[in-house]
Amino acid sequence: MAYDRYAAICDPLHYRRTMNKQVCIRLVGGAWLVSIFYSLTNTAPVLHLHFCGPNELDNFSCELPSLLEVSCTETFISKMTFLILGMIVCLTSFSITLISYFLIISTVLRIRSTEGRDKAFSTCSSHLTVVVFYYGAGFARYLRPSSASSVVFDRIFSIQYSILTPMLNPIIYSLRNMEVKAALRNLLRKIKGM
């Protein structure tokens, strides 16, 4: 989506040529390949772990860090694999998103008309909001030291990126719609009037 926004705002006259079907297939295919490689690389070492203690995870879902905590075998290799690959995948995709938004913002700031600038920022703000929610919760959950781990925060961050962010997607993206904005304003006026 960051590349799509970049192409739409920074090179709008060539958008159809830039974002053709072949490019879209490559972008989606690349995302799938990276996620499959990441999943398999983290799953393979876990298959050799033994679990002899409690069989209940202290989380809402069966995520790798929670699973590694209840293993009775050595998990150092799995933890290091998870941490290193997580940093590479997350920081690479986050960096690409940040670079594209840096280029988008620098292009938008060169737009002379206020209306054009507002429209461009409106287009990007919804995506940027979702990106910040998702990456922020993911980084806080997975890329912090285990000494700073807290069951309550792990659960909150897990809910944030797995449930709340996808649930908020339609709401955040529909806030660009004038009818939704008008209905929201009316609702807020009614609440204030109570």
CA terminus-to-terminus distance, the chain: 41
How do residues 118-146 score in pLDDT, each as one tens digit? 877 777 777 777 788 778 887 777 777 66
In 3D space, the residue among 144, 154, 159, 162 whose CA is nearest the CA of residue 79 turns out to be: 144
DSSP, collapsed to helix, strand or coil, labels residue 137 as helix
pTM greater than 0.85 (yes/no): no
Using an 8 Å Cβ cutoff, are 82 and 64 in contact?
yes
CA 186 – CA 148 distance, rounded (Å)? 44
Residue pair 51/71 in contact (Cβ under 8 Å)? The answer is yes
